[in-house]
Amino acid sequence: MKLSNEQKQELVSLYYNGKSVSDICLQSGVPRSTFYTWLKPYQIEVTPSRHIVSTNEFIKMKQRLEKLEQKIEVLQKVDCTVSSPLQDKLQELSKLYGQYSVHTLCDALCVSRGTFYNHIFRRKEVTVYDKRREEIREHIQSVFEESRQRFGSNKIAAVLSERGIKTSPKYVAELMREMGIESIVINSKKEYKKHLWFTKKQNHLQRQFQVSEPNHFWVSDVTCFKINDKYQYVCMILDLFSRKIVAYGISPKNSTYLITSTFKRAFKERGNPQQLTFHSDRGAQYTSNALRKLLRVNKVVQSFSKSGSPYDNAVAEAFFASLKKEELYRTIYKSERQFCESVDDYIRFYNTERPHSTLNYKTPDKFELLYKEKKVNTI
């Protein structure tokens, strides 16, 4: 029996509306092989009435949407366009460096990441003044740590002068504010009691690494990696619920500013979460007044590992072990730029593509998405 084009199209429409090939062929008497030859010419003209989006498709669409939204934010903040001169674009993007990922910044204005990193690091060494400023910051940090965080700008300036580094207390104070460090001075019995309470450094985590909801427990740590005889420090913040890296920072100096700036990005990225606990080791940067104040203002509970007990922060330690074994140890880095690109690429891979055994072999992003879907369905 020969069918007209209209009849063929009607049968194809039944298929795209959900009817199986077996049922269509059984009822119409058309051989399966013949029916499949009809699908190709008509599949463009006839579309299914309903398409069920899989979880993977939804994740990809969600990620694509988030990236587009971030690119739009960047384009709204910069004072240039994609067609602007390269130097103008680099200058505008450098103002947003640290607020968005390098991928997002560069994609928004069609700038290569290599060019952008080169601009960032070269920009820090443009003048003798900038170079000297960075050197003095390092000396200030050293004296500050040697004094066990006791010295203020006057004493630090005096010590630097004895070491042949001429500077003023006012200039030292300015740099200390930038670095987020201040001397620990206890002037009253009331402050002394507060200090005693702080020195207890309570461990609220107690190695309970399985958390039932996101933004309840964050853990943080810093590691270092040597590039051309110079250390680069990587700070990261991880959500224990999904093992997702919610923010990270890279700096040539292990300073309090590295910690506070990374926390600010994480806190903003996650929508200023409430009832949050922030866990770390007892390093000087994590016990600094600047970080304590930042957490207190945002009503975040601070938690500390016990002294000499790295297992209290085992998840953070495990992430850095993975970063080094799976990425950093596999490459000989020729520049800081190349190192930063490598860390950026790995963290993106870690969040979006790397399955975790503790998450039933889901990725952090997918695990959080499934949690949100389940929460919506239970409402």
At 319-339, the pLDDT tens digits run 998 999 899 988 888 888 899
Residues 113 and 259 in one domain: no
Do 97 and 243 fall within a single domain? no
**Local structure of 23: helix, strand or coil:** helix
In the chain, the DSSP E strands lie at: 217-227, 230-239, 244-251, 277-280, 301-304
Looking at the domain assignment, is residue 49 inside a domain? no
Structurally, the chain folds into a number of domains equal to 4
- Residues 296 and 263 placed together within one structural domain of the fold: yes
Q: In terms of domains, do 283 and 241 share one?
A: yes
| Residue for token pair 């730029």 | 337
241, 368: one domain = yes
pLDDT reading at 124 higher than 70: no
Residue 204 lies in a domain: no
Average pLDDT value for residue range 160-168: 90
Q: What is the pLDDT of residue 82?
A: 76
Residue 201 in this model has a pLDDT that exceeds 70: no
Inside any domain, residue 190 = no
Examine residue 273 and state whether it is found in any structural domain, yes or no.
yes
Same domain, 95 and 231: no
pLDDT of 58 over the 70 cut: no
First to last CA, the chain: 55
| Residue 200 forms part of a structural domain | no
Instruction: Output the CA angle 205-215-221, nearest 5 degrees.
Output: 55
Same domain, 12 and 75: no
> What pLDDT is recorded for position 10?
73
Closest among 222, 233, 227, 223 to 331, alpha carbons compared: 227
- Tell me if 32 is assigned to some domain: yes
Say yes or no: 132 and 257 in one domain.
no
Structural domain range at position 13:
5-42
- 55 vs 244, which has greater pLDDT? 244
Question: Based on the domain organization, do 273 and 324 belong to the same domain?
Answer: yes
Specify whether 63 is located in the same domain as 90.
yes
Confidence of residue 202 (pLDDT cuts 50, 70, 90): confident
Helices of type H across 184-313:
189-199, 256-269, 289-297
- Reading the block at residue 261, the tokens are 């700036």
Burial tier of 267 (Cβ tally within 10 Å: 0-12, 13-18, 19+): buried
318 in any annotated domain: yes
